[in-house]
Amino acid sequence: MTTEPRNVIITGAGSGIGAAVAEAFAASGDRVHLFDLSEKRLASVAANLDLVTTHVVDVVDAPKVRTAIEGIEKEYGSIDVLVSNAGVFDGLAGIQETTYELWDRIIAVNLTGAFNLIKPASEAMVRQKSGRIVTISSIAATRTSPDGLSYDAAKAGLEGMTRRLAVDLGQYGITANTVAPGVIETSILATSQEILGDMTPPTDGDNNAANASYVDTVVPARRGGQPAEVAAAIHFLASTGAAYINGDTLHVDGGWIAS
């Protein structure tokens, strides 16, 4: 029996974890709808995938997000999976370095941006009485070092919102869960600095938390994780095998949360 491909929306899909998530779902025959700020990054990821559409969208722009999601539902008939991955990092800024402008932008992208996506996607899922929502938090929601103030606050808020989503949507056959990565080898610092510019304090290297001495200190696995390892957890939570997992947070952190 031929199974119709699921429609999977992935934000922040132009690099890092988002790109790995796109590859994981595409490999299982799903149709992936990639959202990102960068048309160039989207094109690079999409070039290697089948059943793919790309959308240059800022998740802060709620009307544009809604238009994109409603267009996908209208054309393809369903919204089966939403992976809310888009996020920016605040450059390790503490209270002294966090300006009002930086706070507003980090909260807008990392927390409000997720709401902007989930609101229209969940409406489609309620209509079809099925769906999977996976938000991407961080170990920063629980263990604040070495992340910044606004990033910690946004990720903690995201986990709280996801738990409430499970309560609101579970009766419709929809699950909402969070994946919380630890030290993952991505270019998040470089990408965030590109987006935020002078809003963040300067940092050294592409990802400070991924240097060997830091990882050896805090991560029992004694290594940073790979984007594909996070993608595998997300793919599982969107599967039929995870139908009774709802409102939970799955840490993909090499044991950091236990240390």
Catalytic residue numbers, as ranges: 151
Distance of alpha carbon 236 from alpha carbon 21, whole angstroms = 11
Long-range contacts of 150-157 (CB under 8 A, 24+ apart): 150/90, 150/93, 150/98, 150/102, 150/103, 150/106, 150/107, 151/89, 151/90, 151/106, 151/110, 153/107, 154/87, 154/106, 154/107, 154/109, 154/110, 154/111, 155/110, 155/180, 157/107, 157/111
Both tokens of 160, joined, read 């709280």
Residue 81's φ and ψ, nearest 5 degrees, are: -140, 135
- Sheet containing 81-84: give its strands across: 52-56, 31-36, 7-11, 81-84, 131-136, 174-181, 249-252
